[in-house]
Structures are given as C-alpha cells and as structure tokens.
Structure 1
Amino acid sequence: MEHYSQANAMPQGVAGQSNTGPLVIITILFFMWGALTALNDVLIPHLKAIYTLSYVQAMLVQFCFFGAYFIVSIPAGMLIRRIGYQMGAVTGLVIAAFGCAMFYPAAQAGYGLFLFAFFVLAAGITILQVAANPYVTVLGDPRTASSRLTLTQAFNSLGTTIAPAVGGMLILAGAMRGADELAAMTAAQQEGYRAAQAASVQGPYLALAGALLLLAVLFAMARLPKLSGASADGSSSGESFGALFRHKHLVLGTIGIFVYVGGEVSIGSFLINYMGEAHIAGLAAADAAHYVSLYWGGAMVGRFIGFAVMRTVSPGKALAFNAACSIALILVAVFGSGHVAMWAILAVGLCNSIMFPTIFSMSLHGLGRQTGQASGLLCMAIVGGALVPFVQGALADSIGLQVSFFVPAACYAFILYFGLKYANLHKQ
C-alpha cells in the first residue's frame, strides 16, 4: 500500500553532509512496512484454515491491523513531538519488532494473541511512518525531493509485491487440509495438524523481528538532520480542527481515502480464497499467493504509467477513469468464471496505482495553513482498511465469496463520483 509523505519539516545543520547512507536506511524502511502490510494477505487464508474461521472472523486481522492507524496516529504525533523524529522512528521499529516476535507465542496460544500481535505490529508501523516520512523530503536538494519520494514509494510497492510470493513459499508451503479432511481426523490429529500449521509463521516472523531490530540500531546510529517546523500531527497550524469540515472537497476526499484503502485491502484479503474457488482457478493457497504479488505489483507498474499520463490529464479525470475501470473489472470477477474472472480481479491492482496520492492531493487543494491538520484527518481515514474487509467478510459468509466483491465495487463507485465532481479542481 502506498503512503503519503508530508513535507512539513525543514533540515537543520546538514550542509556538506552525505545523505546517501540515511536515504538507503529510510528506503529499506519503506520496503519493510510495505512487505509487512502485504503479508497479511497470506496470513488471512492461512489462519482461516487453521482455526476454521468464518470470513468475518478472518477479517479481524485487517480490523486489528488497520484499526491501529486510527487509534495510534494522534498519540504517535504527540510522542514524536516529545522525543524527536529520529528516536520516534527507532521506537516504531522496536515496537514493530516486538509485534513480529509475538507471533512465536501466538502460534501456541491461539487466534486471539495473533490478533493482538497484528495490532502491536501495526502500531509500530504507524509511529514509524509519522516519524520517517518527513526525512524523505529533507535528505538532499529540495528540488529533487519528488524524485526521492517516487523512489521510496517504489520500494514500498516492491515490498508489497515480493512479500506475498515469499510468504506463500515460507508459510503456505505445507499442504492445507480441506474442511472434509479435517472432519475425518481424530481430535488429537486435528490438534497436531493445527499446531504444525500455526508454527509455520514462527520462523519468518522471528526473522522479520530481527531485521527490524537491526534497522532500529542502524537508524539510531545514523547521522540524520534535525527537523523543525510544524509538529508531526500538524497541530502548529493554529487553526480550529472543526474548521476543516467547511471544505467540502476535503470531507469527500476523506471518505474517498476511507473507501479506497478499504477496497484495495479488502480485495487483497480475499484473493487467495477467491482463486481457490473451483470455478475460478482452483489454486492451492501457496500457488495463489504468487498471483497476489501481481495484484500489488500492478500498482507499482501503474504508478509509473500514471506519472506520465497525468502530466497531460487532470488528476480528477484520471482518478475517475481508473475507478470506472476498477468497477468494470470487479463486475467481470463477480459474474464471470475461470481465468477471465481471476485476471480481471488481479488487474484492479493496476487501476489502484494513482488513487491514493491523487485523492490525497485533491483533498488538500487550497487549504494553506490547514494542510497539516487535514493530512492528519486523511491519514486517520486509512481505518477503512479495517472496516471494509469486515463488511465484505460478513457478505461472503451470508451470500457467497464471489458476490461479496460488490462491496469494493461500491467503494470505487464513490471514488468515480469524487473524481468527476472535482475533475478540474487544480485548474480552478
């Protein structure tokens, strides 16, 4: 998933200092949190099979993960004002590492501890984003800040592209039993099977915990510029928070971020189960995980295509076009079958590419000193990734998985409306 970087800080005392090392470390951070987010798409069907969960119960993974964005964002800003950006990033890395380490005891304790581990992991990532994002813009010449941002976001997308395939090999490699096979086992056999499958997450997540701790050490030792200016949560603007709601395009844009993140995450969460359906592709979970990488990889490729196209096409029109394509593709996936339906839902990833930054920038248009607070409001709207998959899960349980994709289709319908309504916003 792509994340917005806010250039609300200025460097101090960095003249003559080489920024290559710190930029490399921060680029790795973007890669890591992209990978950790996309791994959820592998773990959801894995945990669903282990604990014989309903779709609603399985979607509690995304509920706990993206719910942390809503709960932790404001406290993260307060923490960073107290301890600084650099130590804030270190704190986020340590908390995320602790969340990964919690997967080890969760494999013995059960689904409840897994959910708490997801929340802790996401809390660390949230703090890390609030702290690390400003460095992207200050590590070098301000005139090349956009190119550095493109680079780091590309590595974030690279993480979301690689993680499902690697996770599929490491976590889903063992043959998953169907419900009928599990029912034929004795209680002792079922317990042993579930324990073995749950344990498959321990090694990969302990390795991720170690990598995050190593990054924390490197980040603590790095010579980084000190940041000043607006606070991490934009509270220095001096404007009333309630005044933000006078801007209709910001209000609609906040809803747009909510439904976009919700739709994107919801599709990714159900892909492995969808492609496992006999009338779609009948793929084993480990094989389907490789195709999930194509879904997220499409967003990375589409970003570069969109960069070229949007130099001549207004952001609103490009957004509306991509949303319309997404709706059409989802309808093919809902009413179709076989590989046509499978490739249609995967192609939605390509359409997702420009949506997050386009909605974000359109929402902030003309807000001036209120931009910082508005950015915080938009970041809180990422909680859509917690709620929309939950709604689709309820629909999947009640009327079927394939039909449940009407939920993300409805999300893209609102984005289509937003894009058309403000098609020429930047020309005003």
Structure 2
Amino acid sequence: TKLKALVTRFPKLIDDLPTINEKFAMLNTTVNPMLNTLGGGGNRGNQLIQFGGSCNSIGGTIAPILLGYLIGGSVQTAKVNDAAPAMIIAMAIFALAFLIILLARIPEPHMETADERAARLSGNTKKDPHGPMSFRHFVLGAIAIFFYVGIEVGIPNTANLYMSNLEWVGPVVAGTLVGFYWFLMMCGRLVGGAVGGRVSSKAMLTTVSLLATVFLLCLIFIPEDVRFSIPVIGAEVPLGMVFMFLCGLCTSVMWGAIYNLAAEGLGKYTPLASGIFMALVCGGGVISFIQNLVADKVGFISSYWVIIAGLCYLLFYALVGSKNVNRDIPTE
C-alpha cells in the first residue's frame, strides 16, 4: 500500500517541481531589483538585499522545524492533515505579503510610458541598440553570479560527501555538521544587513572573497588527522572542516553585493538584467558537476581548488570588473 501511494504521488511531485521553481525564479527576479531600488542603489540598496536574504534564511531555518513540530511523531505515521496548520500559516503569509505589496508605493526601475507603448504597438518605435549586455560591469557580474552559486553549493555539498566517507564521522553526523554552514550563512546575512549601510558592496565582496579563499586554503592544507571535537553533537571532525563552516559567513553576503554592483547604473535595463541573473544560477549545477569530476580524479579535498578559482574571479570582479565603464549609454 505504501509503495503504491509512493508510486502514485511521486510523479505528481516531479510534475509540480518546474512550476514551483518557476515561481521562485520569478520572485527573485522581482524582489532583488525592488529592494535595490527602494534603497536607491549603492550601500543602502545592498543593505536591503542583505536583510531580504536574511529573512529568506530565517524562513528556511524555521520552516522545517515548525513543520516537524506540527506533524510530530514518526514521518511514517504522519498524515497530510497534520501539516494543514503549516499550510494555513504559509497561505496567510502570502496573503499578507500580497496586501503589503499592493498597498505600498514601490517605485519601479522603469515603467513604459503611454507614448512608448503606443509607438511599440504601432511598430514605429526605434529599436534600442543597447541592453544589459552592453554594460561590461553587468556582463562580468552575471558571470560572477554563475560562479557564486557554484561556490555556495559546492562548499557544503563536497564537505558532506567527504565527511560521509570518513568511518569516524559518517553520513548522519556529516549532514548535521553541514547544517552549521547554512546557519552561519543566516548569521552572516544579518550582520551584512546591519553593516551594509556603512560598508560598500565593493569592500564587502573583496573582504569575503579573500577570507573564503584563506579558509579554503586552511581546509586543503591542514592534515586530516588533526581533529576538532564538537561537544554539542559529541563528534570529532577534521579541523579543516571547521573552516568550511566559516565559509558560510563569507558566502552569505556575496549574492547581494554582486547584484548591487552589477545593477548599478542600469536604469531601464534593470528588469531584463534581473532575468539574466536568475538564468545564470545554473552555475550551481555546472560548477558542482565540474567539482565532482575533479573530486573523482584527485579527491574531495583537492577539488576545492575549483572553488578557489571561482573565488579568485569574484575578487577580480570586486576590485576591477565592477567598475561601470559604459556611463555614456542612456538608461532613462
């Protein structure tokens, strides 16, 4: 009976996943430019994006805990009705967010005027020779996002595989320890939001890229037999894995900083630029695939050189590539 229920529901779940992912992509495509615009770009825009990311992390941390509390007991004996309160809470949050967005006066990056719309519909409009890809700092920023998502995903996933293969750690403890990385990401976003109004996106991205590189070098070169005890869960891990946790503090603020730098000065091209950004989150799959290929050849720890290469690109972008050299292009 259980197998029949699984076979019946699983295709439905797979069928719904593209729709869910599409909505999340649309949400990110609109939320990032909205927060950046509300902050007026610059430091304040980055600060609001960081706070938005921290709310996302807090929700991601609380949701499974709340769901587990509401369901209670064993998953095998749980019923769909047990999760009904969580679904009601989720729908209430969506309804509240809808009302706030509907009633709030949120400035748009660029709204098509009546004359522009009439000209476009009549076919008399002149094709714009420029677009987001005309801006060097945006193109390099989009590539930075590609690398960033691969970095964010690759660091904990590879650590999980590595620790799961250690007899004295195992998959259960490894999964718990990787959770520390995501917890530190949440903490990092809260800190990033708190200081984002005073620290520039360029300085923030430069600092965390350097720190993450140093942490990963420590992870690579500290011998495996040097261990660190974690009393909370009663386990020992290679000391290098502690630096993996700390990388969560660094990756936490990278998305907001990169987006803020890449979207600066785009004006009317910002909405399209946000769509391109979301398309390049595929780096999470591509970079992870490359890292796994390297891991198969040289081992899990040595595969982190792939991540370090990505961090070096982010450092280049922060120091050099983020400068807007196309200020002559009209954006109004």
Q: TM-score higher than 0.5 here?
A: yes
**Residue 321 of structure 1 aligns to which amino acid in structure 2?**
T
Residue by residue over 1:325-378, the C-alpha shift from the partner in whole angstroms, topping out at 9 and shown as x without a partner, is 112212222333243211011111111122111110110111122122222222
Give the conservation status (yes or no) of the 8 Å contact 2:132–2:269. Answer: yes
1:289 and 2:175 are equivalent in the alignment: yes
Contact (CA 8 Å) 2:208, 2:250: kept in 1 or not? Answer: yes
Structure 1, residues 5-46: CA drift from partner, whole Å, max 9, x if none? xxxxxxxxxxxxxxxxxxxxxxxxxxxxxxxxxxxxxxxxxx
Residue among 151, 154, 159 paired with 2:59: 159
- Who is 1:253 aligned against? 141
The equivalent position to 1:394 in structure 2, one of 283, 293, 299, is 293
Which amino acid in structure 1 is aligned with residue 90 of structure 2?
A: L
The answer as to whether partners of 2:46 and 2:201 remain within 8 angstroms in 1 is: no
What residue in structure 1 maps to residue 189 of structure 2?
Answer: 303
Matched, 1:404 2:303: yes
| Cα 1:410–1:107 shift into 2, 3 Å | farther
* 2:122 counterpart of 1:273: no
1:329 aligns with 2:240: no
Report the secondary structure of 2:131's partner residue: helix
Of residues 376, 389, 396 in structure 1, which corresponds to 2:275? 376
Over residues 194-228 of structure 1, what are the superposed CA-to-partner deviations in whole Å (9 max), with x where a residue is unaligned? xxxxx87x969997798457634664586452689
Report matched runs for 1:172-211 at 5 Å: 211=86
Q: Which amino acid aligns with 1:252?
A: L
Distance 1:247 1:333, change over 3 A: same
Higher-Rg structure is 2
Tell me the residue number matched to 1:77: none
1-structure distance, mates of 2:91, 2:66: 23
User: Is residue 36–residue 45 contact of structure 2 (8 Å, CA) maintained in 1?
Assistant: yes
Percent identical pairs in the alignment equals 25
Letter matched to residue 141 of structure 2 = G
CA contact (8 A) 1:265 1:389 kept: yes
Going from structure 1 to structure 2, the CA distance change for 1:263 and 1:315 (only over 3 Å counts) comes to same
Corresponding position: 1:351 with 2:237: no
Q: Distance in 1 between matches of 2:30 and 2:265?
A: 25
Secondary structure at the aligned position of 1:402 is classed as coil
- CA-atom RMSD in angstroms: 4.6
Is the partner of 1:403 in helix, strand or coil? coil
Check whether the contact 1:168–1:287 (CA below 8 A) recurs between aligned residues. no
Give the equivalent residue in structure 1 for 2:240.
Answer: 341
Paired with 1:132 and 1:105, the residues of 2 have a C-alpha distance of: 40
What's the counterpart of residue 215 of structure 1?
90
**Maintained 8 Å contact 1:326/1:348:** yes
| Consecutive unaligned residues in structure 2, runs of 5 or more | 39-43, 117-126, 228-237, 328-332
Q: State the distance in 1 between where 2:194 and 2:106 align.
A: 32
Where in structure 2 are the equivalents of 1:70-219 lying within 5 Å? 108=7, 118-130=17-29, 151-161=51-61, 211-212=86-87, 215-216=90-91, 219=94
SS across alignment from 1:394: helix
The separation in 2 between residues aligned to 1:168 and 1:357, in whole angstroms, is 31
Shift of residue 380, structure 1, vs aligned partner = 1.8
The TM-score, its normalising length taken from structure 2, stands at: 0.67
Q: Is the 8 A contact 2:263 2:273 kept in 1?
A: yes
Asked if the contact 1:241/1:373 (under 8 Å) is kept, the reply is no
Q: Which deviations, in whole Å up to 9, do the C-alpha atoms of 1:390-409 show, x marking residues without a partner? A: 22222223332222222222
Give the AA of the match of 1:335: F
The DSSP-based 3-state class of the residue aligned with 2:264 is coil
